[in-house]
Structure 1
C-alpha cells in the first residue's frame, strides 16, 4: 500500500510538471475530454456506483 501511494505521488508529480507549459486553452480541452470520459463511464455503469480505493483519492481537489 505504501509503495503504491509513493508510485502515485511520483506519477502525479510528473503529470503536474507536464501541465506547467500548457496554455489555458490546452488545459480547458483536456478538462473537457476528461469530463466526457466521466460521463461515458457514468452512462455505462447506470445505477451502479463506482468503487474507489483509498489510493484513488490520493490527490484532493483544491481551489
Structure 2
C-alpha cells in the first residue's frame, strides 16, 4: 500500500491541482484504473496487474510496422499507449 500511495502521489497528485473532493475522487478513480489496467509493473515483467502478459514479438517485420495510438487521461497527466487494431 505504501508503494501505491507513493506512486499515486508522484505520478498524479504532484502534477494536479485538485479543486474539491469530487475532483479528487474522480482523479483517484482514473489513476486506480490506469494503475491496474494499463501501467506496466517491473515485478510483473512489464504487464499490468489486471491484464494478461503480452505475447513476445520477435519478428523484425512486425516490430518496424507497429501502429501505436495514445490515449490521454486526466488532461494528459496519464498517457496510455496501445497497438492499433
**TM-score, normalised by the number of residues in structure 1:** 0.34
Query: Could you say which structure has the larger radius of gyration?
Result: 2
Higher relative contact order (CA 8 A, sep 6+): 1
**TM-score, normalised by the number of residues in structure 2:** 0.28
- The answer to which structure has the higher strand fraction is 2
- The answer to which structure has the higher helix fraction is 1
